[in-house]
Amino acid sequence: MQTQSESRMNLLIILPRIPYPLEKGDKLRAFNHVKYLSRNNDIHLVCLNDSKVSKQDAFQAVQPYVQSVRFIDLSLFCRIINLIRAFFSGKPLQVGYFYSTRAHKEIKKFIRESAPGHIFCQLVRTAEYARYEKIPKTLDYQDVFSKGVERRIKSSSWYKRPFLKMEYKRLLVYENRIFDYFSNKVIISKPDRELIPHPEREKIEVIINGVDTDFFTPMDCEKKYDLVFTGNMAYPPNVNAVEFIAYRLMPLLKKRKPGIRVLIAGATPDKRVKAVASDNIKVSGWVDDIRESYASARIFIAPMQIGTGLQNKLLEAMAMKIPSITSPLANKALEARPGEEILIGETAQEYADHIFHLLEDGDFAEQIASRAYHFVHNNYNWQSATAPLERIMKNT
């Protein structure tokens, strides 16, 4: 029989970003994987860094869960060179963007020092760093980048389309090719798995996201807004959703309720997001406690038209008992019951109809919110979501 110490893995985790603060979905998933895998394993963490963050704050956030950690900066000059190399090598630009020969040397040295029994790479962006290592390894595709890029092509400016089409084709090839270099592959949802361009994609294990239901709980708060939408506001699918709200949905809502108020809350708002600010729409930018944004509104809306993966924002809103409306695309990964735990809209008119139904029928809104709350508690928590990932790696 194995003792607890004998069954512990020495696990090296490679992330494309420092997983703190938790303003992006990939950071949230990474942070919670580190947190819950650390309970039974020794974690050595490598984080690439392409932005200005407080490394001291980040270190304090991850330090309780890791044996060692390395933050590797990718300078602007380095990233430009990386992109040029990727362009001429045929690799996807976002894989090339995160790949540095200097960083690779540091990671190889770290592998020798930490002697991991398993390597875990988050996203295809980090796959090159472990691709040829003769150690059992797992790749978290998380989202299907190729499909996400393809969905952006039609809604993008004409001058961006050639680059997006090129990136889409390169990602299709890369997501297929990298599959065979890893012992295990995981992804965030079944619909995403079906989009991976590999004939053996059924071997990919689905590892869902969770939500911290101890943190995201119902709050008594003044309802200053009718609607709220949250997220990283530089992320193209979120920018697209904001423009849907502002330019397609708001004209319908204002006809019936001229004073309707909407909050757009989230870090690093794109200029296109800032442009929608008005008497009816507040664009807050970064907020210290996103729970207050959820709780200050009567309804959460996530009209996702493009993008892939499971929307953490929906899990958080539902955990806080905020009745929520989203698109068929977003609910495909979530798998909540339409009309019972969530409302689904495709057209702006359908969203408007749902919104006024919830605003005008308090009992109905309470029913949707309560069922959503129980749905999230029963199906999404980080501890149970991470357990299959740990099992997969230990069985390799």
What is the per-residue DSSP string for 296-361?
Answer: TEEEEEE---S--S--HHHHHHHHTT--EEE-HHHHHHH---BTTTBEE-SSHHHHHHHHHHHHH-
pTM of the predicted protein model: 0.86
> What is the C-alpha separation between 37 and 65, in angstroms, rounded?
9
CATH fold of the domain at 4-209+381-394: Rossmann fold (3.40.50)
Which pLDDT band holds residue 2 (cuts at 50, 70, 90)?
very low
Superfamily of domain 225-379: Glycogen Phosphorylase B; (3.40.50.2000)
| pLDDT value of residue 6 | 52
Task: Note the pLDDT tens digit of each residue in 51-98.
Answer: 988 999 999 999 999 999 999 999 999 999 999 999 999 999 999 999
pLDDT band at 24 (very low <50, low <70, confident <90, very high): confident
Task: Return the pLDDT at 308.
Answer: 73
Residues of the chain above pLDDT 70, percent: 98
Q: What is the pLDDT of residues 223-257, one digit of tens each?
A: 999 999 999 999 999 999 999 999 999 999 999 99
Phi, psi for residue 281 in degrees, rounded to 5: -125, 120
Residues 107-140: pLDDT tens digits? Answer: 999 999 999 999 999 999 999 999 999 999 999 9
Report the C-alpha dihedral over residues 141, 143, 145, 151, rounded to 10 degrees: 160
| Residues 200-219 pLDDT 10s | 999 999 999 999 999 999 99
Q: Are 216 and 292 in contact (CB under 8 A)?
A: no
Spatial neighbors of 163 by CB under 8 A, at least 6 apart, are 93
- Which tens digit of pLDDT belongs to each residue from 180-202? 999 999 999 999 999 998 999 99
> What was the pLDDT predicted at 87?
96
Q: Centre a 10 Å sphere on the Cβ of residue 282 and count the other Cβ atoms it contains.
A: 17
- What whole-number distance in Å separates Cα of residue 229 and Cα of residue 171? 30
**Whether residue 171 has pLDDT greater than 80:** yes
Q: How far apart are the first and last CA of the chain?
A: 18
Q: Is the pLDDT of residue 309 over 90?
A: no
The pLDDT, as a whole number, for residue 366 is 98
Q: Which two tokens stand for residue 180?
A: 């065979």
What residue ranges of the chain are covered by domains with CATH 3.40.50.2000?
Answer: 4-209+381-394, 225-379
Q: Report whether pLDDT(4) > 50.
A: no
Greatest alpha-carbon pair distance for the chain in Å reads 70
Q: Please check the confidence at residue 270 and state whether its pLDDT lies above 90.
A: yes
Of the two residues 46 and 151, the one the predictor is more confident about is 46
> With 90 as the cut, is the pLDDT of residue 307 above it?
no
Name the token pair of 306.
């493009």
pLDDT in tens, 313-344: 999 999 999 999 999 999 999 999 999 999 99
Buried b (16+ CB within 10 A) or exposed e, 306-321: bbbbbbbbbbbbbbbb
Backbone angles phi, psi at 298, to 5 degrees: -80, -30
Mean pLDDT of 259-275: 96
pLDDT band of 100, cuts 50, 70, 90: very high
The conformational region for residue 307 under phi > 0 = left, psi -120 to 50 = alpha, else beta, is left
Question: Does the pLDDT of residue 1 top 90, yes or no?
Answer: no
345-367 pLDDT, tens digit per residue, is 999 999 999 999 999 999 999 99
- Interatomic CA distance for residues 195 and 236, integer angstroms: 20
